[in-house]
Amino acid sequence: MALSETMQQLQSILSRVVVDLGKVHKGNKSAAQRVRVGTIDLEKIGKRFRKESVVAERSGRLKKKPLSKKLKKKKKRILAR
């Protein structure tokens, strides 16, 4: 499965879980079950995303943005400790 498809699945599941969480807050027990199942699905898809993103990054399909000056200074301070 492609990284973009996995990201779309993640977004879809997340949006469903967010909607159901609102229903759980109102006392809907069925929505609570859907949230529990959704979190299991999120875990599975999350693991797949992690694997695919690492492969994409190593192959050069996914590029890292260069650090800003502010973050570079912060990183230097942290490493200096």
Evaluate whether 3 touches 56 at the Cβ level (below 8 Å): yes
Integer Cα distance of 39 and 17 in angstroms: 8
Within a domain: residue 76?
A: no
Say which residue, 6 or 61, is predicted with more confidence: 6
Domain of residue 54: give its range.
Answer: 3-63
Within a domain: residue 46?
A: yes
Which one-letter DSSP state was computed for residue 27? Answer: T
Within a domain: residue 12?
A: yes
Question: For residue range 12-56, what is the model confidence (pLDDT) as tens digits?
Answer: 999 999 999 999 999 999 999 999 999 999 999 999 999 999 998
Whether the pLDDT of residue 1 is over 70: the answer is: no
Within a domain: residue 29?
A: yes
* Cut 0.85: pTM above it: no
Please state the domain count of the chain. 1
Token duo for residue 49: 């995303």
Within a domain: residue 80?
A: no
